[in-house]
Amino acid sequence: MPKKTWFDYVNVIVISGVAILCTLPLLLVLIVSFSDESSISANGYSFFPEKLSTAAYKLLFSGNSPLLQSYTVSIAVTVIGTLLAVLMTSLAGYTLAAKHVKYRNHLAMFFFITMVFNTGLVPWYMMSTGLGLKNTLWALIIPSLVFSPFNLFLVRNYMKQIPDGLIEAAKIDGAGDLFIAFRIFLPLSMPVLATITLFYGIGYWNNWFNAIMLVDKTELYPLQYLLFKLNSEISMIQQMQATVSGMGAAQLPSESVKMATAIMTIGPIVLFYPFLQRYFIRGLLIGSIKE
């Protein structure tokens, strides 16, 4: 076992310090979400609040709150959308990486153009409504389903590292492209597929724009859009109270609700990331290598 040098100890200390600095804001958000609103108003954000309270979470999970329904919608959209997006991206990446596919470089240029030019919001909205997606669950999935060109090229570059001999051997045994893609390329590309799964999952989980543009039904609101509306309504009620009566603006737990919504939105992603961490860096580094 190699002897540790002074650099190793300094490296551990520096990385530990950076990790603590990155953890402290999240810890502060968690503590403030359980703080009483009056103590926040008097002392601001603090790691040691004068009084703890669960009023923010009681408000979010009140009997009339559609929060659980929105959680279900967000989870369903994230799972379905991520699986479909990863499948499309991986198959497209295999097509662009396989050397026997004609015009694969021309297809790659077609996808590259979409990274530079955007058609704009109006054509996007007209196409989404023309497909009959408005006020359906698919309105939260399909408009974001068209795979990201960045993720596509990440997968393609990774798959280019796979030896051509595997394809030749499989074809000698009578295997077709689907067999080669699903039984050889995709299992060997798990690191980069885990990486884009995390990218797509975060994108779908945090997406609220599709709901603003295409959803009017409350039962289809994703979590992020519902919490955005809730925070806006709380702020509006506080302003009305302050204007009408000159007091009572602190009756609703505004600041603690904001922190509670942050905890609720980042919680699933924080729990999901450790399962993909061992693949993430490897897939990102190898997939970014250009021939």
225's enclosing H/E stretch is: helix 223-245
pLDDT computed for residue 9 by the predictor: 83
Give me the pLDDT at residue 248, please: 45
The class (CATH top level) of 62-287 is mainly alpha
84, 77 Cβ separation under 8 angstroms:
no
Shortest CA distance to 191 belongs to which of 83, 279, 286, 272?
279
pTM of the model: 0.76
Provide the 10 A C-beta neighbour count for residue 275.
Answer: 11
List the pLDDT tens digit at each of the 291 positions of the chain.
Answer: 567 788 878 888 998 999 889 888 888 888 888 888 777 777 778 888 888 888 878 777 776 667 778 888 988 999 999 999 999 999 888 888 888 778 888 888 888 887 777 777 888 888 888 888 888 889 899 888 766 788 888 888 888 888 878 878 888 878 787 888 888 888 888 888 888 888 888 889 888 888 888 888 888 888 888 877 776 766 655 565 555 554 444 455 667 777 887 787 776 677 666 666 665 555 555 544 444
229: left (phi over 0), alpha (psi -120 to 50) or beta: alpha
pLDDT, position 14: 92
Residues 6+ apart with CB under 8 A from 33: 56, 57, 256, 259, 260, 262, 263
**Domain positions in the chain:** 62-287
First to last CA, the chain: 36
Q: What is the pLDDT, as a whole number, of residue 226?
A: 81
Residue 253 is predicted with a pLDDT of 61
